[in-house]
Every structure is written in structure tokens, then in C-alpha cells.
């Protein structure tokens, strides 16, 4: 590969897409999606995917390319993104990976363990055990076979605690040991990363304003089209922020104002979860803490003086 690899992470509405666009203009680079919802066709508005002007300004990859009936895993994204990054580099261009899905960036920079599928019965037993034992005793049991996972998984994170136990129960090997054998990561020293972390008040205000704009741009039509397909509600695309809230309105269960308020609240919660992930998993990434796009660009220039202003 001859081009540089840039990684731009940030919570929703933080300005990462605009920064990626400006970087693409400055470098002649190509943009690669690292947002789990922007993968899916039919969610361009609700996922704040690139519009026609952005798509025309620079080559984009893995945006709106997956049908909503198909649920992609992190591993599937990693394989696709890795192939795209290699192809971009072979053209002598920069690859600019932009998104807010922390697991995607973790897989790209640290690799991904190939863990065998856990049988449904094992998952059921783990869920029952969690209910019977409670979190404290369940965590203590996990610590006996995977102390690292028991120590790093946050309090109240039932899903990841159960997952760690399920993997051991199904494979006889701890999740931590599986992860230690991770593969597929970008070569060390081959990438440059930044994480956007604007002030929370400004970020939340943008989240609220974005929902209003999405309604004006056709978000209700997107949700209505998804509802008409009667897709499995457990599919990733059906869990996109706003789908559940706006679906309730379209079914006549809530008023539009109530649905928008609920979606705004969930967007703020989602942004908070993304920032928490970044602080825990990307603590060594340089931070851009400005709120305005022009100031974020100036901060990036300060980190990378060779870029053309």
C-alpha cells in the first residue's frame, strides 16, 4: 500500500463526516464507512449517511451497500473494509475510515478473534444462570475462568458478561484467550487516528437539531418503507436510532412530537455510549475537542502540519 490510512472516530453528530470530507479534498483520498448503520440501504437519512453532493465530491465505500434484511457482523465488515483499504492503497490514494462504531475500529486496529458460533442452548443457559445467580455471583464465577474479562467488563453490562461466559462454555477457551489470538489488524504504524470529542452540551444540541432535520428530509418515509417489508425486528437495521420511535408514531401509538422527542433522547444516549467507549478503548488516540468544523480542521492541521490548509 502506498497511500496513508486515516482513522476518524467520533460520536454521532460530532462532525466526523465533515472532517472526513475535508481531509479527502485535501489529500485526494477515498472515504470508507465505519458506521454500522450507514452500511444499510434505506437508512441514508436516519443514519446521517452521505448525500449526493458528498458522494460526488470523493469516492465512498461501504455506504448503503447492504440490504436491511442482511445483518452484518463485525468480522464481515472487517473483511470488506480491509479489502477496500488495500485497493485504495494500491491506487496510491489515502484511505479515510470514518465512523462511530467502536467495535469496527477496534477490529481494524487490534484484530478480531474468530470465535465459533455459540449454540442457542448455551446462550439460554447463561441467561438463566445470570437471572438465578445475580450479577455479583455470575461475575465471580466468570472470574474463575476468565479473570481479565470479569475485571474489564463494566458493572451492569449483562450482555458482555453473559457473552464471556458463553464463549468459555461453548469452546472450553476463555474469551480473553480467543481475543489474544486476534488477527486481521492493520499493520502497526500504518495508520493515523484521531477521535472527535466536542463539548457535551454542543453535541447534544446537534443531536436534537439533527432529528428535526431528518424528519424534514424524509425519515418517516424511510421508516415506513422498512415497516412495509415486515423485517425481523432483531436485525441490526431495525435497531437504528429512530426506527422504533418513528414506527410507533406511524402505527398511531404516539404523536409526531412525542416520537421525535423520544428519538432525540435515544440519540443523546447513544452519543454518550459512544463517548464512553472512546474514553475506555481509544484513550491513546489524539483528541479533537472543538465543536465547529473549521476549528476541528485547525486542530487536525496542528497534529499533521504537512496537510494543506
Q: What is the mean pLDDT of residues 34-59?
A: 96
3 state SS of 187: coil
Where in the chain are all domains bearing CATH 1.10.20.140? 120-180
Q: Please tell me the pTM assigned to this model.
A: 0.82
Phi, psi angles (nearest 5°) of residue 62: 65, 30
Across the beta sheet with 191-196, the strand order is: 60-61, 30-33, 95-99, 5-9, 191-196, 287-288
Which of 203, 163, 220, 171 has the alpha carbon at shortest distance from 45? 220
Q: Which residues of 276-292 are buried (b: 16+ CB within 10 A; e: fewer)?
A: ebbeebbeebebbebbe
Looking at the DSSP bridge assignments, the partners of residue 96 are 6, 31
Where in the chain are all domains bearing CATH 3.40.50.300? 5-112+184-303
Topology of 120-180 in CATH? Histone, subunit A (1.10.20)
At 287, which helix (H) or strand (E)?
A: strand 287-288
Which of 124, 99, 84, 107 has the alpha carbon at shortest distance from 1? 84
Q: What is the mean pLDDT of residues 224-231?
A: 96
Domain 5-112+184-303 architecture? 3-Layer(aba) Sandwich (3.40)
Say whether pLDDT at 250 is over 50: yes
Say whether pLDDT at 1 is over 60: no
pLDDT by residue (tens digit) across 104-159?
Answer: 999 999 888 777 788 989 999 999 999 999 999 999 999 999 999 999 898 888 98
Residue with cell 457473552: 163
Give the span between the Cα atoms of 308 and 25, in whole angstroms. Answer: 10
Give the span between the Cα atoms of 160 and 237, in whole angstroms. Answer: 21
The three cell numbers of residue 255 are 404523536
Amino acid at each position: 500500500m502506498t497511500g496513508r490510512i486515516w482513522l476518524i472516530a467520533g460520536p454521532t453528530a460530532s462532525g466526523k463526516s465533515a472532517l472526513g470530507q475535508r481531509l479527502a479534498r485535501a489529500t485526494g483520498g477515498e472515504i470508507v464507512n465505519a458506521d454500522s448503520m450507514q452500511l444499510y440501504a434505506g437508512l441514508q437519512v436516519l443514519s446521517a449517511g452521505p448525500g449526493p453532493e458528498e458522494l460526488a465530491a470523493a469516492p465512498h465505500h461501504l455506504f448503503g451497500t447492504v440490504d436491511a434484511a442482511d445483518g452484518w457482523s463485525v468480522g464481515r465488515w472487517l473483511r470488506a473494509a480491509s479489502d477496500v483499504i488495500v485497493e485504495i492503497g494500491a491506487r496510491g490514494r489515502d484511505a479515510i475510515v470514518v465512523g462511530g462504531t467502536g467495535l469496527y475500529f477496534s477490529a481494524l486496529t487490534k484484530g478480531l478473534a474468530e470465535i465459533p458460533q455459540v449454540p442457542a442452548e448455551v446462550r439460554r443457559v447463561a441467561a438463566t444462570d445470570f437471572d438465578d445467580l445475580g450479577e455479583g455471583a455470575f461475575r465471580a464465577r466468570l472470574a474463575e475462568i476468565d479473570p481479565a474479562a470479569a475485571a474489564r467488563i463494566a458493572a451492569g453490562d449483562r450482555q458482555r458478561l453473559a457473552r464471556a461466559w458463553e464463549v468459555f462454555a461453548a469452546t472450553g477457551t476463555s474469551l480473553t484467550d480467543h481475543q489474544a489470538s486476534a488477527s486481521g489488524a492493520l499493520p502497526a504504524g500504518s495508520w493515523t487516528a484521531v477521535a472527535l470529542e466536542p463539548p457535551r452540551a454542543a453535541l447534544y444540541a446537534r443531536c436534537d437539531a439533527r432529528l428535526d432535520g431528518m424528519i424534514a428530509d424524509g425519515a418517516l418515509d424511510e421508516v415506513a418503507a422498512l415497516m412495509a417489508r415486515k423485517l425481523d425486528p432483531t436485525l441490526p437495521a431495525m435497531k437504528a436510532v429512530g426506527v422504533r420511535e418513528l414506527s410507533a408514531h406511524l402505527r398511531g401509538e404516539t404523536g409526531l412530537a412525542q416520537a421525535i422527542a423520544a428519538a432525540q433522547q435515544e440519540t443523546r444516549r447513544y452519543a454518550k455510549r459512544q463517548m464512553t467507549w472512546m474514553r475506555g478503548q481509544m484513550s491513546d488516540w489524539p483528541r479533537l475537542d472543538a465543536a465547529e468544523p473549521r476549528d476541528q480542521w485547525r486542530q487536525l492541521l496542528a497534529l499533521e502540519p504537512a496537510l494543506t490548509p
